[in-house]
Amino acid sequence: MRYHMNMSFSCKPTPALVFGTGNHRKLPDLVTTFGKKLLLVVGGTSFLHGNDWPLLQAGLKELGVQIHIEQIEGEPSPQLIDAIWTRYPRNSIDCVVAIGGGSVLDGGKAISAMLMERKPVYTFLEGVGTEKTSGAKVPFIAVPTTSGTGSEATSNAVLSQIGEKGFKKSLRHDNYVPNIAVIDPALTTSCPPGLTAACGMDTFSQLVEAYLSTNGSPFTDALALDGIRAVARSLPVACRNGADLTARADMSYGSYLSGIVLANAGLGVVHGMASALGGFFAIPHGAACALLMAPANRLTLTRLRENGSDEKSLSKYSQLGEIIADCPLPAADGQDRFIGYLEELAVELGIGGLHDFGVTAGDIDRIIAESTSKYNPVQLEHADFTAVLKEIL
């Protein structure tokens, strides 16, 4: 695809990146560039009970680092973030390190900001808060142990309040991008197949939606396509054999790129519906994305074909199909091949239905009321949202 000589776009900040197997061992030296008072945020107890923690702990202590540990299980709520940061007086922490999945990274990101803001985090959440953040934060290092949200590359932290008046809202400022992202594919090898699949579909959906986004650019298109190639060849492999470091490296790379492109291009209907679902029900974000990918893209493609005026988006669907097929295809065949791949992938990865999370037909209208298709190639109507949700109940 060629771009006009007068094209114009901008790029948001990205972290300093340390990528490679075994690179988490560099953490002690990285932490001490900021100071010696560390707040370590982890998920549950799996990392602390694993083989990597004793060596990391020894390395930190050898350099005289004081270690405080907090745990985040599940998607972080505003109340949990406030309960953690209020335990630490101003200037008591020099660096926050989050080691875990996307929820842990989001939690660590929010904590690093609130340690400076010193106010309830709800105050600053988009869509519900009343104040803008200053952008100040304690230096933050993100260390992902899953390949999913791309939070290691983004400037927002998603917080959730689940229930009748639930929401998923972002704490956002360009300064909140991690100072350093340490991406070690070896840390993801213990991720079980089901979680690998759900997180991987989150990554894949972010890459695809950013590529199709009406807010995209040559920069985001190039990164998204490279990430899509990596995930398409390696997600099923990583699910079948979690110890395959080549596949895990592809997934880690794709996840990082997905964070960059979502921050710069925005996302479409899959995430516009997944966030609504996650606010009302205890459905993991990756699982919601996995369920929505095939029906949402099929319907989007159908509407594009009916309209017939958006050749750019149709061409992108064709290119996605050629990537999957690994060969040139006629335009319509490429489009159909991509949708077919999404349907095959859902079967291969064992994607279930919304009913597994307590969603019923009676919930559809309130889910749609909170859904959006902002940067989708075509804006969907109420009936379109309804059709997608009914298909995956």
pLDDT tier, 268 (very low <50, low <70, confident <90, very high otherwise): very high
Cβ within 8 Å of residue 66, ≥6 positions away: 36, 37, 38
Same domain for 205 and 164: no
What is the reported pLDDT for 166? 85
**Does residue 240 surpass a pLDDT of 90?**
yes
Is 85 a domain residue?
yes
Q: Give the helix ranges, DSSP H, for the chain.
A: 27-31, 52-62, 78-85, 102-117, 193-212, 218-240, 245-265, 269-280, 285-307, 311-325, 331-348, 364-369, 382-391
Q: Kindly state whether residues 197 and 296 are assigned to the same domain.
A: yes
pLDDT digits (tens, 9 = 90+) for 38-67: 999 999 878 999 999 999 999 999 999 999
- The answer on 159 and 272 residing in a single domain is no
Q: Judge if 50 and 94 occupy the same domain.
A: yes
Q: What is the pLDDT of residue 44?
A: 83
**220 and 89 within one domain:** no
Does 321 share its domain with 356?
yes
Kindly state whether residue 1 falls inside one of the protein's structural domains: no
pLDDT at residue 36, rounded to an integer: 98
Q: Residues with Cβ < 8 Å from 259, sequence gap 6 or more?
A: 149, 150, 151, 152, 153, 154, 206
261 within a domain of the structure (yes/no): yes
Whether 3 is in a domain gets the answer no
Cα–Cα distances (Å) from 95 to 33, 68, 138, 294, 313, in that order, read 9, 11, 6, 41, 43
Summarised one tens digit per residue, pLDDT across range 340-354 is: 999 999 888 888 899
Looking at the whole model, is its pTM more than 0.75? yes
In this structure, are 101 and 246 located in the same domain? no
pLDDT greater than 60 at residue 172: yes
Q: 313 and 223 share a domain?
A: yes
Q: Same domain for 59 and 178?
A: yes
CA 251 to chain centre: 12
Q: Which domain holds residue 159?
A: 16-188
Classify residue 334: in a domain, yes or no: yes
Length of the chain: 393
156 and 198 both lie in a single domain? no
Report pLDDT digits (tens) over 108-121: 999 999 999 999 99
What rounded mean pLDDT belongs to the chain? 96
The secondary element (H helix, E strand) that includes residue 16 is strand 16-19
| Per-residue model confidence (pLDDT) at position 320 | 99
Predicted pLDDT at 134: 98
Tell me: pLDDT of 355 over 80. Answer: yes
Look at residue 2 and tell me if it is in a domain.
no
- Positive or negative, the CA dihedral 81, 87, 91, 92 is negative
Q: What total number of domains does the chain contain?
A: 2
Which of 168, 188, 208 is the C-terminal boundary of a domain? Answer: 188
Tell me whether residue 7 is in a domain.
no
Query: How much is the average pLDDT of 193-210?
Result: 96
Classify strands 180-183 and 167-172 as parallel, antiparallel or unpaired.
Answer: unpaired
Average pLDDT over residues 207-224: 98
Do 335 and 365 sit in the same domain of this protein?
yes
Residue 81: CATH number of its domain = 3.40.50.1970
| Claim to verify: residue 203 and residue 329 sit in the same structural domain | yes
Residue by residue, DSSP assigns 340-373 as HHHHHHHHHTT---GGGGT--GGGHHHHHHT---
Q: CATH number for the domain including 318?
A: 1.20.1090.10
Structural domain includes residue 207: yes
Among 188, 222, 253, which residue terminates a domain?
188
What confidence category does residue 83 fall into, taking pLDDT thresholds of 50, 70 and 90?
very high
Q: Among 188, 223, 242, where does a domain finish?
A: 188
Q: What is the pLDDT of residue 351?
A: 86
